[in-house]
Each structure stands twice: as C-alpha cells, then as structure tokens.
C-alpha cells in the first residue's frame, strides 16, 4: 500500500467481496471488517467495498487517474486497461512493487499469517508444545 500511495495524491483501496475471490481460498473475515482493517493503514485515505457482481462499478464511481495493482495480484495490467477502455474509463494501470521483510520473521501476507497460526497453534487452536 505504501508503494501504491506514491502513484497519486490519494489512495483509495477497493476490498474484494467474498464472491469475487475465486483464485485463492475465500477470505476468513467479513468484507466490512477487511475494509476497516485496510482503511486503518496509514497509507490508505479511504477503503471501499467492491461490488459483488461487477468489479468495475467502484472504479467507475471513483474515476481514478491511476489504478495500482498489488505486486502479487493475479490480474493482468493489459487486460484491466482494455476493460477500462471499453467502459470509457481513462486511467493508467500500474503494478506496485513488492517489498522485502523489514525484520526477521515479518510476515507480509495474510495467508502466511494463517499458515503460521495453524502450524504453531494446531488445527484445533491449542498451542503446540515447544
């Protein structure tokens, strides 16, 4: 998000709805809670829930100058740009760069956090003996 914020004057993040997450396991937290967590990030000016049926609806409403995809998002920049052009939305599509952990054992993805919890606490939630 910090890198995405450098691409414009304001950073509006769109949080996908559960129904739109088809390329990886479904989110554990509800959409509103995920939106609140994203909006709490210092780099984010405002977080918005995505549309459950049409991912381009919030983009049409926000009318951004640039869309910055996450470095690990599966979307193709050229495909997104073509879809935006077909809808008459004039904005650049760029990709944020990833970053390296700032300190040992820093986890940079929610999937890695879940995996560590399951590994260290076990599937039933109890702490595993050291």
**Residue in this structure with the two tokens 């381009």, named with its chain if needed:** 56
Within this chain, do residues 107 and 54 fall inside the same structural domain, yes or no?
Answer: no
106 and 92: one domain? no
- Total number of domains in the chain: 2
Classify the C-alpha dihedral 30-36-41-44 as positive or negative. Answer: positive
User: Do 105 and 116 fall into the same domain?
Assistant: yes
The pLDDT, as a whole number, for residue 127 is 58
> Are 71 and 86 found together in one domain?
yes
Residue 1: which residues within 8 A CB-CB, separation 6 or more? 11, 13, 38, 41, 43, 44, 96
105 and 123 part of one domain: yes
CATH number at residue 14: 3.40.50.620
**Domain range for 122:** 100-130
Look up tokens 């609806």; give the residue. Answer: 57
Consecutive 10-residue averages of pLDDT for the chain (130 residues): 90 84 74 93 95 92 92 86 94 87 84 87 62
Range 72-81 burial, b when 16+ CB lie within 10 A, else e: eeeeeeeebb
**Residues 84 and 93: beta-carbon distance below 8 Å:** yes
pLDDT of residue 46: 96
Of 3, 12, 5, the residue nearest 59 (C-alpha) = 12
Q: pTM above the 0.75 mark?
A: yes
Answer yes or no: do 31 and 49 share one domain.
yes
81-85 CB contacts, 8 Å cutoff, 24+ apart: 83/56, 84/56, 84/59
């Amino acid at each position: 998000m910090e890198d995405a914020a450098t691409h414009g004057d304001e950073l509006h993040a769109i949080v996908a709805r559960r129904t739109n997450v088809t390329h990886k396991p479904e989110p554990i937290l509800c959409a509103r809670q995920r939106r609140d967590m994203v909006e709490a990030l210092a780099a984010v000016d405002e977080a918005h829930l995505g549309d459950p049926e049409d991912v381009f609806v919030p983009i049409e409403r926000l009318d951004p100058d640039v869309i910055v995809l996450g470095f690990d998002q599966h979307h193709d920049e050229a495909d997104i740009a073509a879809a935006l052009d077909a809808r008459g939305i004039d904005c650049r599509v760029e990709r944020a760069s990833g970053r390296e952990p700032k300190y040992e054992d820093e986890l940079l993805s929610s999937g890695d956090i879940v995996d560590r919890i399951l590994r260290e606490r076990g599937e039933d939630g109890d702490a595993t003996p050291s």
